[in-house]
Chains A and B, each alone.
Chain A
Amino acid sequence: MKKIVFILALLGLIIVLIVGTLSQKDTEPTTLMKLKEKYSEKEKPSVDHSKFAILQQKFTSPQQVTEACESCHNMTAHQVMNSNHWNWEREEFVQGRGVIYLGKANAINNFCIGTQGNEGSCAKCHIGLGMDEKRTIFTDPKNIDCMICHDNTETYAKAPEKGGAPLTTLDFTKIAESVGKPKRSNCGVCHFYGGGGNNVKHGDLEMSQFEPSKDIDIHMASDGMNLQCVDCHTTKQHNIAGKVYSLSSMNHNRVTCEQCHTATPHKDDILNEHTLKVACQTCHIPTYAKGNATKMYWDWSTAGKLKNGEPYVEEDSMGNHSYMSIKGSFVWEKNVKPDYIWFNGTASHYLEGDKIQDTTKPLVLNQLHGSYADDESKIYPVKIHTAKQPYDPVNRILIQPKLYADKVGEGAFWKDFNWQKAAEVGMKDAGLPFSGKVSFIKTEMYWPVNHMVASKENTVQCNECHTKENSRLAGLKDFYMPGRDYSAIVDTGGKWLLILTIIAVLIHGTIRFYSYRKNKKEVSK
């Protein structure tokens, strides 16, 4: 009986450990099992385009193919011509500005800066068959490039610097007969190469995702679920869900993880509770640029150096361009840990012609809104791309230079290497004032990281954020996070209180010990 109560109480501890351990059984949530089942089903197209007589003819131009498509799909041109893929802009509401039309057509970024005046080169990634600087293409349905998205032979390719027209050597008949739902390869040829090279822009979208392994991307893994872009980016009448915040500012038509996985996908309540304030991506994308490096910094101010009168290129240790006479210096990084911000799905943008308020601070080109106190905001991972790009120090506006031209002497920087000239022509094309002075300003862009989701085993662990040292969320200071934050007063005060208590106990004990011996001696005397 003696120690039994103590043993009983010890049982308490054992119960704690058992309950705690049992509750961490990691079984697969049913939603996930159902999703896997759903997406394993092979989709069978309802028609075989190669059987249609109209597609068996010998096509000599891509426009002929488009006409053949439109002879059956006779309402489609209308849909396509209303899409932002065609118009390079969409309607957006921006706080303080009202409704604006924003897109590649008029935006300024801190990569190749802008498309205006550079259509011949940039329109390689337009779903049209030839855009010129006057942009006449937009009214002609024959110029829709059906094949760039629907070719299933993986042979279709646009010609360089032809405003979006394809190579002339292609077998259009074979391609036209192959058409089907867009695959990763269709989307990837443009979206993996944005900014003029593989993985320049996004960091989480690049050529390794044509056929990725599970390590690169758990969703698209060709040895796994093998999801195609359009499985998540669902499409209604050629309006594709999802958008990138370099060009959009409203919280609508987004693609979310929740649309498949629900808002509470975990077995563990504590994790589910995190989803109120933490976006899925934050834990599930520990690093981006996993296959190849992405561009983190672009310095236009060093562009234009020539060797023996010729432009040249230098490479870094990974084989990426570190310097190009036409573009300046770059910094590339691989396996990058994202930065983290509060984001509520809305953004504001620097639009061409906007006055720069403070030229001493980096200019943010797309400010993503959010804060802890805002209940629509969650913590999101982002890639922050910084740059030094040309601006007019007198008018205090960013410069849209003319970069591309066929020939020397038209003022294009990539041919003439003269900033004044390129700025003058470019600003004229854009209809903006130019003082004649070119200076350089630091700019930032925020790219939410959404792809390259890691496997469950490789997600971010609790103590990568909940820690005092090197917390992933060290930069987000507007809230209290257990494990990271503490009150310095309480902690130091507590430490000293404890130390003093221990000292007091030790002193008391020592005196007691000696006086006890003394007393005993006295008694024995």
Chain B
Amino acid sequence: MSKKQVYIYKGFERFWHWMQAILIFFLAFTGFEIHGTYSFFGYRDAVRYHNVAAYMLIGLIVFTIFWHLTTGEYKQYLPTLKNIKAQLDYYIFGIFRNAPHPTKKTVLSKLNPLQKLTYFGLKILVIPLSVTSGLLYMFYRYPSKQGVSAINIQSLEFIAIFHTVAAILLIVFIVTHLYLITTGETVTSNLKAMLTGYEELEDEDKAEKNVNEKNLSTQNLD
């Protein structure tokens, strides 16, 4: 099997990824201060920073949606049920036996099926939940006073709780994500790829011939 340095994450993608990572981490940090879990910036500043970071995240999301639509990259995230079991098997068994990754990472398909499902879930459920509940939180008005009367909601409680749920899910995601970064070809290869854009992948031409059942399951590996 021959390997080749492949340019897999484009500049914008990497920028988006790191910007989003930092913003979400920062939002979580300030958010849980607002939540009363600890105090660090002081309540007032935590609120202020949380709001600014929230606006930036929304801006970033808008750009990113635009980028994904115009470049067609969104297709990377369309989930597929194919090979999910193989991927799960890999994380539960194969990974300990030094088995190869069951799905091949290519420029056209850089996410494995589990990633697709998770990121699809994040993008369709958790982040929208976080952003909409966050925006409602921001523009929430007390019963029938000022502002947009359509969002006069009787109680902040639901909004706040949904927002907190989304925040917790995001943190759980971050923890898992940080760990799974280390499960690439080598411990650091995924991280390097997201920093530089390049990753050592199987040579596309030859790899094509190599796609076979063997790679997709762990059965024949012992």
A187 to B153 alpha-carbon distance, docked (Å): 45
Interface residues of A in 480-515 (CB under 8 A from B): 480, 482-487, 490-491, 493-494, 497-498, 501-502, 505, 508-509, 511-512, 515
Chain B residues near A75 (CB-CB < 8 A)? none
Chain A residues positioned under 8 Å from B66 (CB to CB):
none
Among B11, B44, B48, B183, contact of A5 (Cβ-Cβ < 8 Å): B11
Are A502's CB and B175's CB within 8 A? yes
B161 to chain A minimum Cβ distance, whole angstroms, is 5
Structural contact, A9 and B21, CB atoms closer than 8 A? yes
Flag if B145 contacts A479 (CB, 8 Å): no
Which residues A455-477 have CB closer than 8 A to chain B?
A: 461-463, 466-468
Q: Smallest CB–CB gap between B54 and chain A, Å?
A: 9
How many chain A residues sit at the interface, stated as a range, is 35 or more
Are B164 and A487 within 8 A (Cβ)?
yes
Determine whether B148 belongs to the interface, using a CB cutoff of 8 Å to chain A.
no
Q: Using A276-B146, A480-B156 as known contacts, say yes or no to A505 and B179 having CB atoms under 8 A apart.
A: yes
Q: A16-B49, A375-B143, A498-B171 are in contact. Are A5 and B14 (CB under 8 A)?
A: yes
Q: Please name all residues of chain B whose beta carbon is closer than 8 Å to the beta carbon of A505 when the two chains form the complex.
A: 175-176, 179
Distance from B142 Cβ to chain A, minimum over Cβ atoms (Å): 5
Whether the Cβ atoms of B195 and A16 lie closer than 8 Å is: no
The distance in angstroms between the C-alpha atoms of A277 and B144, with both chains bound, is 12
B164 engages A497 (CB within 8 Å): no
The CA-CA distance from A483 to B34 in the complex, in Å, is: 5
The 6 A-B pairs with the shortest beta carbon distances in the complex, nearest first, are: A9-B18, A494-B168, A515-B96, A480-B157, A462-B43, A9-B19
A-contact 0/1 string along B29-45, CB 8 Å cutoff: 00000111001001111
Assess the A498–B45 pair: CB atoms within 8 A.
no
Residues in B6-34 with C-beta less than 8 Å from chain A = 11, 14-15, 17-19, 21-23, 26, 34
Interface residue? A53 (CB, 8 A): no
Among residues of A, the one whose C-beta sits closest to the C-beta of B20 is A9
What is A's interface to B at a CB cutoff of 8 Å? Answer: 2-3, 5-6, 8-10, 12-13, 15-17, 19-20, 23-24, 270, 276-277, 373, 375, 461-463, 466-468, 479-480, 482-487, 490-491, 493-494, 497-498, 501-502, 505, 508-509, 511-512, 515-516, 519
How far is the CB of B118 from the nearest CB of chain A, in Å? 13
Partner of B95, one of A270, A485, A512: A512
How long is the Cα–Cα vector from A497 to B165 in the complex, in angstroms? 11
Which residues of the partner chain B approach A10 to less than 8 Å between Cβ atoms?
18, 22
Complex interface: chain B residues within 8 A of A493 (CB): 168
For residue B52, CB closer than 8 A to chain A, the reply is yes
Cβ of B160 and Cβ of A480 under 8 Å apart? yes
Q: Are B47 and A12 in contact, CB atoms less than 8 angstroms apart?
A: no
A-B contact pairs, 20 of them (CB 8 A): A5-B14, A5-B15, A9-B21, A13-B26, A16-B52, A17-B49, A23-B48, A24-B48, A276-B145, A479-B156, A480-B160, A486-B36, A486-B164, A491-B164, A497-B172, A498-B172, A505-B179, A508-B91, A511-B96, A519-B97
Nearest chain-B residue to A2 (Cβ)?
A: B196
Q: Which residue of the partner chain B has the closest CB to A373?
A: B143
CB distance from A243 to the nearest CB of B (A): 25
Cα of A5 to Cα of B157 in the assembled complex, Å? 39
CB-contact partner of B144 in A6, A8, A375, A519, under 8 A: A375
User: How far does the Cβ of A128 sit from chain B's closest Cβ, in whole Å?
Assistant: 45
Closest chain B CB from A169 CB (angstroms): 58
A-B pairs under 8 A by CB, number: 140
Asked if B219 CB lies within 8 Å of chain A CBs, one says: no
Contact status A490-B35, CB under 8 Å:
no
Contacts of B143 in A (CB 8 A): 373, 375
Nearest chain A CB to B65 CB, angstrom units: 18
A511 to B91, CA, bound (A): 11
CA distance in complex: A9, B14 (Å): 9
What residues of chain A lie closer than 8 Å to B171, measured between beta carbons? 498
Measured between C-beta atoms, what is the minimum distance from A4 to chain B in Å?
A: 9
A497 to chain B: which residues have CB within 8 Å?
Answer: 168, 172
Q: Looking across the interface, which residue of chain B has its beta carbon closest to that of A506?
A: B179
Asked if B53 is at the interface of the complex by the 8 Å CB criterion, the answer is yes
B155 close to chain A: CB less than 8 A: yes
Enumerate chain B residues within 8 angstroms of A12, measured Cβ to Cβ. Answer: 19, 22-23, 56, 60
Considering the complex, give the chain A residue whose CB is closest to the CB of B47: A270
Residue pair A490, B165 in contact (C-beta under 8 Å): yes
Given the interface pairs A20-B49, A515-B98, A519-B97, the reply to whether A277 lies near B175 with Cβ below 8 Å is: no
Nearest-CB distance from A211 to chain B (Å)?
34
